[in-house]
């Protein structure tokens, strides 16, 4: 099981991690954003100064075979062995592709995740899911390959613009919905415009603990880990559609809109309370704005959902739904008509 460290002293904690993991060579993966905004926070450590640094283009559209090949080639050309160590310093895109590169290079080298975005900290870096996008599909190729250690420090979050902050916050909201009403209510009350970083750190720790607990019980997503998919079946379809429409959206925005659709399905099929649906909807509407698409895209969205890895078959769309806050119902299915109705509800609710 991977170790998650909530850092209080970034440099000391990172030094301790590196000394605890035997390795012959050290490499560090960044994208252009994390290299520019975050690398300076760790680059005065002696071992980091001597590490091989790989920098790839930023953005989820670059989480692809070309970038993966760039990482493999750098490791190969700079003497990496099965005993080398890779630090993934960046957001979810970096920890996803870096984790997969580490898992596949020489059949597996060790890696450490240092998430620099809120989304990376509460979602991608924790739990061992790694991979790349392929053939227009989100995370189509990948592996379960947990990092040795995940080092979380909120010092990185101050570099985030508002859109990237909100992208991560959507995953925290999801964790609140699947865990307990107290956490959910605190998340809805948080001021997302004037950010209290001390309070945010407390909420991040709570959010990571929700995911850690679930992943520890079900590391390979056979049962309860499916609860983490709330909002993602429809959300991933929105995200993939946005790229085909040349209007790429942040992952968390897609998840937020997916949450609205899937809470609607939860209300219709499982009795999720209408007042809690509207409270969540109001928060999302106020913070996440609108994704402009029309009825002509419904079929494309449905086809994208059929490719979702959680489906038992290509003809059956699988959902995690809720009967109430913290009451998850796994392996729920919905008809095409129900799904389209939930998308109608989203469009009407956010004013499309």
pLDDT recorded at residue 207: 95
Mean pLDDT of 97-103: 98
Q: Taking the chain, what is the end-to-end CA distance rounded to the nearest angstrom? A: 45
Q: Judge whether 51 and 62 are in contact, CB under 8 Å.
A: no
**Spatial CB neighbours of 251, under 8 Å, sequence gap ≥ 6:** 60, 92, 119, 167, 235, 239
Name every residue whose Cβ is closer than 8 Å to that of residue 59 and which is 6 or more positions away in sequence: 31, 93, 248
Q: Are strands 52-56 and 3-6 parallel, antiparallel or unpaired?
A: unpaired
Concatenated DSSP letters of 137-161: EEEEEEEE---SEEEE-GGGGGG--
Question: Please, what is the average pLDDT of the chain?
Answer: 94
- Using alpha carbons only, give the angle 315, 249, 166 rounded to the nearest 5 degrees: 110
pLDDT at 137 over 90: no
Residue range 32-81, pLDDT digits in tens: 999 999 999 999 999 999 999 999 999 989 999 999 999 999 999 999 99
Instruction: Tell me the C-alpha to C-alpha distance, in Å, between residue 117 and each of 33, 89, 188, 218, 271.
Output: 11, 10, 20, 25, 35
Residue 294 has pLDDT above 90, yes or no: no
Length of the chain: 352
pLDDT digits (tens, 9 = 90+) for 241-262: 998 998 889 999 999 999 999 9
pTM reported for the whole predicted model: 0.87
- Tell me which residue has tokens 């985030």: 160
pLDDT tens digits along 175-198:
999 999 999 999 999 999 999 988
Residue 53's H or E segment, with its range, is strand 52-56
């Amino acid at each position: 099981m991977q170790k998650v460290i909530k850092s209080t002293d970034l440099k000391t904690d990172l030094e301790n991690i590196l000394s605890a993991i035997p390795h012959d060579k050290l490499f560090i993966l960044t994208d252009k954003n994390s290299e520019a905004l975050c690398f300076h926070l760790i680059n005065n450590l002696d071992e980091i100064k001597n590490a091989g640094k790989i920098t790839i283009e930023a953005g989820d559209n670059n989480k692809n075979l070309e970038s993966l090949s760039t990482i493999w080639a750098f490791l190969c050309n700079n003497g990496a062995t099965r005993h080398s160590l890779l630090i993934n310093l960046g957001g979810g895109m970096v920890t996803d592709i870096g984790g997969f590169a580490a898992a596949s290079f020489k059949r597996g080298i060790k890696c450490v995740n240092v998430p620099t975005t809120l989304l990376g900290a509460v979602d991608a870096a924790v739990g061992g899911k790694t991979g790349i996008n392929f053939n227009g599909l989100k995370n189509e190729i990948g592996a379960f390959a947990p990092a040795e250690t995940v080092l979380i420090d909120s010092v990185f979050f101050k570099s985030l613009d508002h859109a990237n902050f909100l992208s991560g916050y959507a995953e925290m909201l999801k964790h609140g919905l699947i865990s307990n009403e107290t956490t959910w209510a605190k998340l809805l009350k948080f001021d997302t415009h004037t950010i209290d970083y001390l309070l945010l750190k407390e909420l991040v720790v709570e959010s990571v603990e929700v995911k850690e607990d679930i992943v520890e019980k079900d590391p390979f997503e056979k049962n309860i880990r499916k609860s983490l998919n709330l909002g993602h079946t429809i959300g991933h379809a929105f995200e993939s559609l946005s790229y085909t429409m040349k209007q790429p959206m942040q992952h968390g925005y897609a998840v937020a809109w997916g949450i609205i659709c899937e809470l609607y399905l939860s209300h219709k099929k499982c009795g999720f309370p209408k007042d809690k649906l509207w409270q969540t909807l109001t928060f999302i509407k106020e913070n996440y704005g609108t994704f402009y698409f029309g009825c002509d895209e419904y079929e494309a969205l449905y086809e994208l959902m059929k490719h979702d890895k959680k489906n038992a078959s290509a003809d059956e769309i699988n959902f995690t739904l809720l009967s109430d806050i913290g009451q998850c119902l796994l392996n729920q299915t919905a008809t095409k008509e129900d799904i389209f109705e939930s998308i109608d509800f989203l469009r009407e609710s956010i004013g499309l």
